Amino acid sequence: MNVLITENENPAVEGLVGLLKKIDTDINIIGITQTVESTINWFQSHPNPDLIFMDIQLDDGLCFELFETMKIDIPVIFTTAYDEYMLSAFKVNSVDYLLKPIEESNLRRAIEKFKSIHYNASKNNEVIRQLLNELNKGYKNRFLIRVGENYKSIPDKEIACFYIMERATFLRTLADKDYAIDYSLDNLQEKIDPDKFFRINRNCIVNINEIDDIHSYSSSRLKIKLNSDKPIYDLIVSKDKVREFKKWIDK
């Protein structure tokens, strides 16, 4: 296992090297860098390592500048004295986030996690997704809308639904106002709170608080009516989403 250490404090480097050799004799440290710039230069002249141990605050800036400057697909175990960067770390290639002083047991678990993830790409994606879900509890709750030469901000609690009409995406407010937005429904699903909004079919996402009526429709589907006085079109819950919709509405 070839490892790069990006750390600007020599005592921390020595301590980490000692622990790594103690935990796994197959670990081969192929480089040590101390700054963002030196790390970029290192990658330009060396083969990629299997794993990076990376401090966050380096001599010339935060390590996240590396991910903004160059494409890094290599798993990273962050080693830092600061816990406020945890969310940013897990938005990149983080396997684990270890706080200094690093304990041998925590480092050992991080390495074992890397080994299990590194050889199973699907598990890697799932672990990162779960970590992001645990760390990032916030969702987009306002949308900036342009109205002529003006702009207005609409909170999600005032949105009855999002829908597609003639290949464009719109949101409808509780006041039955429709505004075009620069998001696809797929993109919106990743940004809005799934406890509040549900995508009933390919063309519409509805607000749970704006559902006025639900009744059976043909082929085991459901038809819903919103509080809106201005109908869009028939709001039919797709057959493959009915079970999930019932669970969502019954939370």
Both 10 and 124 in one domain: the answer is yes
Q: Per-block average pLDDT, block size 10, for the chain (251 residues)?
A: 93 94 92 93 91 91 87 89 77 85 93 77 55 63 85 91 92 93 91 93 94 87 86 86 92 75
Both 180 and 230 in one domain: the answer is yes
Total domains, the chain: 2
Both 86 and 114 in one domain: the answer is yes
Q: What pLDDT sits at residue 89?
A: 76
Both 60 and 125 in one domain: the answer is yes
Number of neighbours of residue 188 by Cβ within 10 angstroms:
18
> What does the alpha-carbon distance between residue 53 and residue 69 come to, in Å, rounded to a whole number?
18
Both 122 and 223 in one domain: the answer is no
Both 100 and 185 in one domain: the answer is no
Residue 87 near residue 97 (C-beta atoms within 8 A)? no
Residue 188's domain comprises 142-249
Residue 138 near residue 145 (C-beta atoms within 8 A)? no
> What does the alpha-carbon distance between residue 33 and residue 12 come to, in Å, rounded to a whole number?
12
Both 149 and 213 in one domain: the answer is yes
Both 151 and 98 in one domain: the answer is no
Q: Which of 135, 154, 178 is the last residue of a domain?
A: 135
The predicted model scores a pTM of 0.47
Both 9 and 127 in one domain: the answer is yes
Q: Which of 73, 108, 135 is the last residue of a domain?
A: 135
Both 92 and 63 in one domain: the answer is yes
Both 57 and 79 in one domain: the answer is yes
Q: Residue 213: which CATH number?
A: 2.40.50.40
Two tokens at 161?
A: 């639904």
Q: Residue 125: which CATH number?
A: 3.40.50.2300
What is the per-residue burial (b if ≥16 Cβ within 10 Å, else e) of 161-170? bbbbeeeebb
Q: What pLDDT sits at residue 122?
A: 45
